[in-house]
Structure 1
Amino acid sequence: MNNIKKLIATTSLALGLFALPTLTDASTSHTVQSGESFWKIATQYGVSVTSLLEENNRTSSALNAGETIKIPNSISEADKELLAKLVHAEAKGEPYAGKVAVATVVLNRLDHPDYPNTIKDVIYAKSSKGYYAFSPVKDGAINQTPNDEARKAVKEALAFRGQGKGSLYFYNPETATSEWIFSREVTTTIGNHRFAK
């Protein structure tokens, strides 16, 4: 009788181990709830709407409650947090749209061939003259804990990824000292920041 119990326990353990990949697979899919949209799901998972549509071979944005869609790989939680720290430090006191735009600049650089291919490397990049691209890296403000609005702005920027005006820079015209930055094409102005490419 004890041998049978051991066999059942061993079999159950083995089946449980083989079932683990299913749990992992479940984390890369989402069951659509009533009223959800690709935008809402993309924002929830921190992925772009475009990549979500592509991952699911969709040309239409129509969703049906109960259907299961695949969630594409996204940037890591650590990179999202680092980006939120930058947004918090760079856009404190700016409108929410400005916070989203700051995060979008970093993502645009990430997708641009002239810039590094990780969030961390984009944020900590130095110019050929040895200057950090973002002043909060130099002054240490990057190390502050971001607030919920900065984290939300990062999620929205990720969902919006690839759909903006291609801004690669932002600056405050009242405090900027580089003549070069004023030569860039301005794409929009939000709060105290001008965004440019």
Structure 2
Amino acid sequence: MFKRLAWILAIAFALAAGSGGNADAAAIYTVKKGDTLYTIGKAHGVSVLSIKKANRMPSDTIYPGQRLVLPPSLTAEEMDLLARLVHAEAKGEPYAGKVAVATVVLNRLDHPDFPKTVKGIIYAKTGGHYAFTPVANGTINEPADESSKRAVKEAIAFRGMGQGSLYFYNPKTSTSKWIFSRTATITIGNHRFAK
């Protein structure tokens, strides 16, 4: 009886959760042997933290047969746009650098000083110039490679658990004094990340 009630409540929560304006409604996922919150999040484009929050989980412990509410995340269109940005910005960079570029956009999405949509962030202008070079030069329109798509899914799964980077730049080519004033978080390949 308790399992049936829990299942009904989970479905009701999923139906009531709505889309939050960004993605499809929440779904229910049944945990399989070998699953982790990370693998579930990566496969479904949902952050580990949002899974834990939606299911009121005090730890990362899950078990086969457990039903989890998967909250809404980015739409397929948003994931594609983000992957195209990663592809254009981090072409030739290490995989970790691709994940970090995607993470910058997600961190901006969660920050009050930036637009509230992936598209708004990617196409934002600062001082009359696009924030991201691929938007200005048109390479944002090139299809993303598989590595960039994987990097976006990984960044989404780890959303909210990084160092809070909001910017990245190439210290060898950047001429902005302002960007050098930001606190560096990590350097990966040719990019320095900062907040």
Same fold (TM over 0.5): yes
Corresponding residue SS for 2:125: coil
Corresponding residue SS for 1:82: helix
Q: What is the letter of the counterpart of residue 45 of structure 1?
A: H
- Could you tell me which residue of structure 2 aligns to residue 89 of structure 1? 88
- Could you tell me which residue of structure 2 aligns to residue 3 of structure 1? none
Say which is worse superposed, 167-176 or 60-69, in terms of deviation. 60-69
Q: What is the letter of the counterpart of residue 90 of structure 1?
A: E
- Could you tell me which residue of structure 1 aligns to residue 130 of structure 2? 132
Q: Distance in 1 between matches of 2:167 and 2:57?
A: 32
Q: Distance in 1 between matches of 2:42 and 2:102?
A: 14
Q: Distance in 1 between matches of 2:67 and 2:111?
A: 32
Q: Distance in 1 between matches of 2:186 and 2:26?
A: 37
Alpha-carbon deviation of 1:153?
0.4
What's the TM-score once normalised by structure 1's chain length? Answer: 0.85
- Could you tell me which residue of structure 2 aligns to residue 57 of structure 1? 56
Superposed counterparts of 1:1-150, under 5 Å: 28-127=27-126, 129-150=127-148
Q: Residues 50-104 of structure 1, C-alpha deviation per residue, up to 9 Å, x if partnerless? A: 0001111111211111221110011101000000000000000000000000000
- Could you tell me which residue of structure 1 aligns to residue 22 of structure 2? none
Q: What is the letter of the counterpart of residue 158 of structure 2?
A: F
Q: Distance in 1 between matches of 2:166 and 2:62?
A: 33
Q: What is the letter of the counterpart of residue 72 of structure 1?
A: P
Q: Distance in 1 between matches of 2:56 and 2:26?
A: 19
- Could you tell me which residue of structure 2 aligns to residue 177 of structure 1? 175
- Could you tell me which residue of structure 2 aligns to residue 6 of structure 1? none
Q: Distance in 1 between matches of 2:176 and 2:26?
A: 46
| Structure 2, unaligned runs of 5 or more | 1-10, 16-24
2:151 to 150, 153, 160: 153
Alpha-carbon deviation of 1:27?
7.2
Corresponding residue SS for 1:93: coil
Alpha-carbon deviation of 1:105?
0.3
Identity of aligned residues (%): 57
1:168 to 142, 159, 166: 166
Residues paired across the two proteins, number: 175
Q: Distance in 1 between matches of 2:83 and 2:58?
A: 31
Q: Distance in 1 between matches of 2:172 and 2:42?
A: 33
How well do the aligned residues superpose, as a CA RMSD in angstroms? 1.7
Q: What is the letter of the counterpart of residue 64 of structure 1?
A: Y
Structure in which a larger fraction of residues adopt helix: 1
